[in-house]
Amino acid sequence: MGIGGGVLLIPALIIFADSRQHIAQSINLISFIPVAAVALIIHYRKNNLHTGYSPTLIIAGLTGALIGSAFAVRLPSDILSKLFGIFLFFMGTVEIFYKKEPE
């Protein structure tokens, strides 16, 4: 689908494991680290990385992560759940209506 495992993991943790939104999102991020590391190694070995963009992407990613995490920890769990649901709705809409056909 191109969205990521959190689309399934976070709701599953909330519904089936009775986790709070903050905990579910934390587990999702922690579980993503080894997957991202393996993907990075594989793409590097296949020369699929354009390292010229790396400094800009690293700085923007770290800045976004710090701002996002500072914002998320201050929100009540029910509001964070609603915001996550809104995010999923919009991402689903984009996937349905704006996805390019495979070439």
Note the pLDDT of residue 1: 42
pLDDT in tens, the chain (103 residues): 455 677 888 888 989 998 888 898 888 888 888 888 898 899 999 998 888 888 999 999 999 989 988 988 898 988 988 998 898 899 888 888 886 776 6
Query: Contact, 6 vs 28, CB < 8 A?
Result: yes
Query: Contact, 22 vs 73, CB < 8 A?
Result: yes
Task: Give which of 42, 96, 33, 18 is closest to 65, Cα–Cα.
Answer: 33
Note the pLDDT of residue 103: 65
Note the pLDDT of residue 2: 52
Distance, CA of 4 to CA of 101 (rounded, Å): 19
